[in-house]
Structure 1
Amino acid sequence: MRIPRHESPTRNIPKILESHTEDFWEDVEDLRTEPSWFSNVLADAIKLFGLRCTLDPEADKLETWEACVTAMQVGSALFASAQATTGSIEYRIGHKMHTIRAGALPRAHAGNWLNAFWLACICREKKRMTELCQFPASRLRQADGLLDEYIYNWVEALQAYWLKRPKLGDKLVAAVEGTDPAALRHAPRDGVLQIMYPPMNLLTQLARGDQDKFNTELAKALEWHKDYWTHDEDRALDTEGLVALGPLGVCCLAVQAGFTITVESEYLPKHLLEGAWVNEFPT
């Protein structure tokens, strides 16, 4: 089955990439003294990744893989900074080591954790995945912002899946039940139902070992993703919607578990799904 990606303009992308890339690396350098910028730096890294995928929907170019790896490194560095016990850490972002000030805990919220974990899954960074899964959910609650309860159960479900903890089922059920619109207090309903819930459903099928149901639900997840990101013009122009980050992350877990993904889509860039670029360079 094929789910085509929605249209996105490409005419000015090279110029936008040049400008955003320069600003991004300046912000990375600023992390040496100011970890409060971490959320912005991670969002910008994901934006650059999306811009690359605009021009390279199958991710068959090295520059797209580099953008994906860089976003993964920023996400992991955020949580390394948040739990550092020294004044600063040395962390690879791009192709070199950077000094990063400790103290990013206010930015270490569950939304950033999910993005960091999905990126680590896509990059097959098992060590970083384990480190993220060892980050206590209780510390996520200390971060800035008001989030609904379901997201903490969702984080703990993913941590339980990866670390093979016994509470996977309970946490996954609690996360799914928490996406009921009646239970939401902060997050917009459409974002929860069309973006946040589908990866939970996919992980459920993965945990059950049901490959056929996984692919059936994956097709639905991508249709919901498309519906969400084409709801209005602003969303349709947002490069964040060009990759279905959560579904792609769970698909990469499924591939590692031996599943065959039969759904094709630019929302799931082929070479990222297959791990074609893994080990291309030190990360």
Structure 2
Amino acid sequence: MQSSESTFVAVSRHLVAGLDAVEFAERLSAQVARRIDRLEVSADAIDFAFSTSVLALQAHCVADPEADALETWQATVVAMQLGSALFAVTGTSEGTVECFINGRMRTIKAIGPQPYADAGNWLLAFWLAVICREQRRMTELCEIPLEQLRSPEGEYEEFYYHWVDVQQSYWLRRPGLVDKLISTIETSNPEVARSLPRDLLQGLLYPPIDLFYNFVRKNEAGFGPALAEALNLHKGYWTLTEERAEDIDGAVALGPLAMACLAYDGKLPIGIESPFIPKYLLEHGWLGEFPT
């Protein structure tokens, strides 16, 4: 970690907490808790539970920009647990699955392959496991076969699968990481991934790939500037329209935060302070506070 004399670059966030920010976050967390309890009756709505939990995490971070409140860490952990559970219950069609979620072990009936157990949700689930430093869950997610994540409707551009493959290969130490990363970069080019809006691709989807490239190269001089650029691009995307600017989905840059967590743990200089990458999530300030 940088010394106290290090110079940090600040990247401000466009969202400002209103008077009801804490109450709104607490309401979302209560909704998540109710949906979690229903999973033991039926897991058919686990995707809604997961998406709501990510929304609750974002809402807590609006109210708590540094994530120094225990409630924010709990919301992060619950989102991570639900992301892992989503792939656990859809990974088999028989029997039940034991999942530790929101403070206790849950016995949930397996529901087999579902369209939402896809590359997009895998990225979210993996990044949350990285942020929570949950290595066992990271490994379990990385052991999911790539073909299992393919959308039957062809919803995702090919670079999504290359990007998943890169992260699985890195974490499980599989061969060919460099070639896979090059393929990810090439297929995420706007001229190749033509079905995606350019602002989405360049503002949100590509920056984590670039950060990972700098991380694996151990680019001490380049990671911080790349992170600053990623956060400014994130901000640019979420402030392009008035409607986006009010959307709490833009409160935390989850992909860049996950890459920054890898870099932080790898002793790369970060040099960035921003509510988009809350300080106590980046520095795992609450790690070990309660079972995950």
- State the TM-score bracket (shorter-chain normalisation): over 0.9
- Choose from 18, 27, 34 the match for 2:42: 34
Q: Distance in 2 between matches of 1:104 and 1:17?
A: 32
Deviation string, structure 1 residues 26-52 (Cα, Å, up to 9, x no partner): 222232243332222111001101111
Letter in 2 for 1:20: L
Equivalence for 2:230: 221
State percent identity of aligned pairs. 42
Equivalence for 2:197: 188
Equivalence for 1:68: 76
Equivalence for 2:285: 276
SS in 1 for 2:207: helix
Mean Cα deviation higher: 163-172 or 216-225: 163-172
The TM-score with structure 1 as length reference comes to 0.94
Q: Distance in 2 between matches of 1:212 and 1:269?
A: 22
Deviation string, structure 1 residues 79-128 (Cα, Å, up to 9, x no partner): 11122364221211111122222125312100100000110001000111
Deviation string, structure 1 residues 139-176 (Cα, Å, up to 9, x no partner): 00156661111100000001111112122112111111
CA RMSD of superposed structures (Å): 1.7
Mean Cα deviation higher: 109-118 or 24-33: 24-33
Do 1:35 and 1:104's aligned partners in 2 also have CA atoms closer than 8 Å? no
Over 3 Å counting, the alpha-carbon distance change for 1:7 and 1:23 in structure 2 is: closer
SS in 1 for 2:97: strand
Unaligned runs of 5+ in 2: 1-8
Q: Distance in 2 between matches of 1:72 and 1:143?
A: 25
Deviation, structure 1 residue 9: 4.2
Per residue, is there more helix in 1 or in 2? Answer: 1
Please show how residues 253-268 of structure 1 align to structure 2 within 5 Å: 253-268=262-277
Do 2:29 and 2:75's aligned partners in 1 also have CA atoms closer than 8 Å? no
Please show how residues 81-160 of structure 1 align to structure 2 within 5 Å: 81-84=89-92, 86-103=94-111, 105-106=113-114, 107-141=116-150, 146-160=155-169
Q: How many residues align?
A: 283
Deviation string, structure 1 residues 161-215 (Cα, Å, up to 9, x no partner): 1112122112111111112222225433211211110010011111111111111
Q: Distance in 2 between matches of 1:182 and 1:154?
A: 17
Over 3 Å counting, the alpha-carbon distance change for 1:267 and 1:169 in structure 2 is: same
The TM-score with structure 2 as length reference comes to 0.92
SS in 1 for 2:45: helix
Deviation, structure 1 residue 66: 0.3
Q: Distance in 2 between matches of 1:160 and 1:111?
A: 17
Q: Distance in 1 between matches of 2:255 and 2:226?
A: 13
Over 3 Å counting, the alpha-carbon distance change for 1:144 and 1:69 in structure 2 is: farther
Unaligned runs of 5+ in 1: none
Mean Cα deviation higher: 235-244 or 28-37: 28-37
Equivalence for 2:86: 78
- Say whether 1:243 aligns with 2:271: no
Equivalence for 1:174: 183
Do 1:105 and 1:142's aligned partners in 2 also have CA atoms closer than 8 Å? no
Mean Cα deviation higher: 213-222 or 28-37: 28-37
Equivalence for 2:6: none
